[in-house]
Structure 1
């Protein structure tokens, strides 16, 4: 079993420095979560959007009943969706996630995006207006955050954070918050290494979590290119690792917490086996050469929203 190091957060609590992502693993997330717990994972990332909170929660509950883990050893992350940004909706949305997870409390609750949507129906996550743009609601994320702060007071969540926020939005939040965000979850891989945003967050004691750490692999097209790079393959051979393992080690070495998604037992085990080596500065510099800034998730339908996060460098 792999022992994952913990990282101290700015509120005195800590989070495991590697996790299991569960996006697009509906129906398989429970099985993946159980296996992940058996091999050493303690950090699990879900969201209302993923529609698998109940599945992940039940898997964790079963492992607790089996005596494999204790609740306090598990770090569960879920997220407030864009249609629940109105201050009066935040607590209700959080309680619903708590109920689905069935774990008593949420370790880390994130605002999934700084952009708010108008809710039309309960399960319409991406409402579009007549212009084909997201049907955005005029809600200030500062007001949403104030309601999230109350969740900590109520004991529903231990920590709160953000996701997909840029540096300007973080500055504005820090200037107006009562409780600082402990985490910013962002897309981060060799093709968008986010070093400037990571440094910005580190300087403000905000941990960065890396989603889509391998981009979005398309094997038939050999994309993204870094997964098929000969020199990266040589680096992997040097450490007796795979290229994905080298990528996760790279992200750890530049200060991010990877949360790769997998439902394949062998891959789940492989992904976490990255704490027995470190890359050299030259190897990190080489992997930096793949940084094009290209995103998997461009969120272009929200580009006209005042809180669209990707309109500046970082």
Structure 2
């Protein structure tokens, strides 16, 4: 088991960069609430902020970071900011546009980590619509050349606008394709991961290829939008799982703290999202205890292969995973 003293150290990426193990997720956070959560997170000690061009909250995050910097509490160099290339901007020329817009909104000269948000690109109709829909209610998808997308991201590294680059929602097969054609190896793979969906196969692949891992939805995505809802959701509430609750009682911790600790001990970074300042503080208090081996095994036994983000609107995309293919 990894002891909490080692977990205090950041994850070392394959290019030598250091990524804090826990970050504040900002999906669905916008406006004043987003600014409040990010600013408070930085005050509490978070140094990793995860966002995306498509979240439409980078201006709010930029305001929050700038406010902290202006007070002299934290410098930009102390932060690790992750953003993602918009799905309509996966053409090489547009990758630069997505990044430039993110940098302007974030009020920063660079980002620490830039990810391809997903391999399922969307058609850029030229009208500014970042979520183009078809008449049947699914997204208007487009199969961009991901190797060319990756080369454009490598160019951004050489230009000094990005420190590290990686992937999100990529299968092992698609990640291998990037690896085979990369001048700069992916430094990170971000994917859904939690006690009900432990991603052991994908994690092992990343370990073998020196690719760090980041888990989104580490608490089971209790606040996810309705369009991701499934019939299993009402029956599979991870934060209310009896095993998790029993372990939380034993350690006098919250269920969220147990679930985050479980992933951290697997050397997976976590980016829990919350709109509560109290839970924000609780989520970061995970480095001062260790899970006993028997409790780790109990949590491992919860793996049910259950995803909370199904991405059904992308299922007709040519890069969408085959049945039971983890991503």
Per the TM alignment, residue 190 of structure 1 is displaced from its structure 2 partner at its CA by 1.1
Structure 1 distance, partners of 2:196, 2:128, is 33
Per the TM alignment, residue 136 of structure 1 is displaced from its structure 2 partner at its CA by 1.8
Structure 2 distance, partners of 1:119, 1:102, is 25
Per the TM alignment, residue 310 of structure 1 is displaced from its structure 2 partner at its CA by 5.5
Tell me what 2:318 maps to: 306
Tell me what 1:23 maps to: 27
Per the TM alignment, residue 116 of structure 1 is displaced from its structure 2 partner at its CA by 1.3
Q: Which moved more, 1:170-179 or 1:112-121?
A: 112-121
Q: Which moved more, 1:198-207 or 1:292-301?
A: 292-301
Q: Which moved more, 1:75-84 or 1:222-231?
A: 222-231
Tell me what 1:190 maps to: 195
Matched, 1:243 2:247: no
5 Å matches for 1:129-208? 129-208=134-213
SS at match of 2:213: strand
Tell me what 1:89 maps to: 94
Structure 1 distance, partners of 2:19, 2:49, is 11
Q: Which of residues 252, 265, 268 is equivalent to 1:253? A: 265
SS at match of 2:279: helix
Q: Which of residues 203, 220, 229 is equivalent to 2:241? A: 229
Per the TM alignment, residue 223 of structure 1 is displaced from its structure 2 partner at its CA by 5.5
Q: Which of residues 267, 271, 274 is equivalent to 1:262? A: 274
Structure 1 distance, partners of 2:322, 2:46, is 31
Query: 1:31 touches 1:263 (CA, 8 Å); kept in 2?
Result: no
SS at match of 1:279: coil
Tell me what 1:277 maps to: 289
Query: 1:80 touches 1:109 (CA, 8 Å); kept in 2?
Result: yes
Q: How many residues align?
A: 310
Cα deviations across residues 20-68 of structure 1 (Å, max 9, x unaligned)? 0000111111111111111110000011111110111111111111111
TM-score (norm 2): 0.90
Matched, 1:10 2:14: yes
Please, which runs of 5 or more residues in structure 1 have no aligned partner? Answer: none
Structure 1 distance, partners of 2:205, 2:215, is 15
RMSD of aligned residue pairs (Cα, Å):
1.8
TM-score (norm 1): 0.93
Cα deviations across residues 229-274 of structure 1 (Å, max 9, x unaligned)? 3332221122221111000001111221110011211110000100
Tell me what 1:288 maps to: 300
Structure 2 distance, partners of 1:94, 1:225, is 36
Q: Which of residues 209, 216, 221 is equivalent to 1:216? A: 221
Please, which runs of 5 or more residues in structure 2 have no aligned partner? Answer: 1-6, 224-232
Tell me what 2:226 maps to: none
